[in-house]
Amino acid sequence: MIDIKLIRENRDLVKENIKKKFQDNKLELVDEIYELDQEYLKVKQDMDQRRAEKNKLSAEIGALMRDKKIDEANVVKAKVSTMGEEIDALTNREDELSKIIKNKMMMIPNIIADSVPIGKDDTENVEVERFGEAVIPDFEIPYHADILEALNGLDKEASGRTSGEGFYYLIGDIARLHSAMITYARDFMISKGFTYCLPPFMIRSDVVTGVMSFEEMDAMMYKIEGEDLYLIGTSEHSMIGKFKDQLLKKENLPYTLTSYSPCFRKEGGAHGLEERGVYRVHQFEKQEMVVICEPEESEDWYEKMWRFTVDFFRSLDVPVRQLECCSGDLADLKYKSCDIEAWSPRQQKYFEVGSCSNLTDAQARRLGIRAKGENGNYYLHTLNNTVVASPRGLIAVIENNYKQDGTVLIPEALQPYMGGLKEIKIKK
């Protein structure tokens, strides 16, 4: 959520930002909010004036009563009573306007960074840099589901019976490899100075609307029937929510946290679910990183965070690249974002394995996350980034370590988490 002062003082800037995000249907909202805000300010001014007048008249009543001027005191009392009713009406209108303005403000996208490329969707994201050599093997690599099944590591038929499309069983050494990646990711981030955390896997609606837009909420989140609880789509949701309505001490900043969670997403829309494989599914596991910092530090943290993900995948012998997300691909709360994509030797192209985002103070405004400064309280900046999400990370490791005989080599960094196992072979 942006600062209302931007709409009061620079509506053209807000409208231009909306156009850059190809959301012209929201342009009229800016003028609506401006008019409502003008009324809100007028109501507040009238209310403050009446309260001051009421206090002045109330003081006069006491003086008149002391002077035995009962009739005059009663006339003033009647005025005070009428004024009290007017103040109550103004207070109700102020509250009503405040709620309307907030709901409309939450639909206005965050101001994007000047560096963000302008484009309508993810097809116009811009490659920035590649890391590691993208090797094309001289033999055919099977589809990842076929590799996993050949290693007795995947059963989607059984998950179809128990849960339906979009779920899976990982089995044996493949399940171990999946867990090894998550555990290694935890230790990798701890070595970077991050504090490990296990968050709640369900959150209330006021936290959901604090961390994402209404559109994202409807598209992603699973609601628990009969309760004000949602299953998290990523641990970022509950990790940022941890600081809701908190006034944080400057000396404790920045908060650098890494968290594990299962994640649950509807995965509807154009992409749909993956029928055979495990690339796009309803349930997966993820190691996340979250930073809450001073506003002037968020750009530096953004650069550090996406590079942590690059370093993580390179330590697993997976070539990756960084893509700068264009304006139309940015969620409404994001100031800037980039995707980290892993090389797929089977497809001979890159695919997304993580996303890093700087949301400036957009989430902090919605959730009331502030620090106390010399000149008053101010909103902090929030950032999040994927360390690894699996099974997507699992696919990247398996394809890039697949051998012609069907064996999958285990990256050296993961071997200690696999009991020293160095490869996974086809079981006859």
Question: What CATH number should be reported for the domain holding residue 275?
Answer: 3.30.930.10
- CA dist 115 and 3 (Å) reads 21
Are 20 and 145 found together in one domain?
A: no
- CA dist 20 and 336 (Å) reads 13
Four-residue CA torsion sign, 74, 75, 76, 77: positive
Q: How many domains does the chain have?
A: 2
- Three-class secondary structure of residue 374 per DSSP: coil
User: Do residues 141 and 345 lie in contact, with contact meaning Cβ atoms separated by under 8 Å?
Assistant: yes
Q: In the chain, pLDDT over 70 holds for what percent of residues?
A: 98
Q: How many angstroms separate the Cα of 109 from the Cα of each of 179, 239, 355?
A: 37, 22, 19
Are 76 and 149 found together in one domain?
A: no
In this predicted structure, which of 148-162, 203-217, 241-255 has the lowest mean pLDDT?
203-217
Q: Is residue 115 part of a domain?
A: no
Q: What is the pLDDT of residues 278-307, one digit of tens each?
A: 999 999 999 999 999 999 999 999 999 999
Are 316 and 377 found together in one domain?
A: yes
Q: Is residue 417 part of a domain?
A: yes
Assess whether pLDDT exceeds 60 at residue 134. yes
Q: Is residue 267 part of a domain?
A: yes
Give bridge partners of residue 69 from the DSSP assignment: none
CATH number at residue 40: 1.10.287.40
Are 231 and 364 found together in one domain?
A: yes
Expressed as residue numbers, the domain containing 34 is 4-105
Could you identify the residue written with the tokens 């106390």? 372
pTM of the predicted protein model = 0.89
User: Do residues 134 and 346 lie in contact, with contact meaning Cβ atoms separated by under 8 Å?
Assistant: no
Q: Per the omega criterion (within 30 degrees of 0), is the bond before 254 cis?
A: yes
Q: Where are the beta strands (DSSP E) in 69-140?
A: 126-131
Q: What is the pLDDT of residues 305-339, one digit of tens each?
A: 999 999 999 999 999 999 999 999 999 999 999 99
User: Residue 58's pLDDT band (boundaries 50, 70, 90)?
Assistant: confident
Of 310, 308, 315, 212, which Cα lies nearest the Cα of 265?
212
Are 154 and 278 found together in one domain?
A: yes
Q: Is residue 191 part of a domain?
A: yes
Are 62 and 201 found together in one domain?
A: no
Out of 105, 134, 165, pick the residue that ends a domain. Answer: 105
Taking the CA atoms of residue 40, residue 5, residue 331 and residue 183 in that order, the dihedral angle to the nearest 10 degrees is -110
Encoded amino acid at 347, one letter: Q
Q: Is residue 117 part of a domain?
A: no
Are 96 and 172 found together in one domain?
A: no
Torsion region of 317: left, alpha or beta (phi above 0 gives left; psi -120 to 50 gives alpha):
left
pLDDT at 51: 87
- CA dist 292 and 240 (Å) reads 8
Q: How many angstroms separate the Cα of 113 from the Cα of each of 218, 324, 334, 336, 386?
A: 26, 12, 9, 6, 21
Q: In the chain, pLDDT over 90 holds for what percent of residues?
A: 82
Helices and strands (H and E) in the chain: how many: 13, 18
Q: What is the pLDDT of residues 342-357, one digit of tens each?
A: 999 999 999 999 999 9
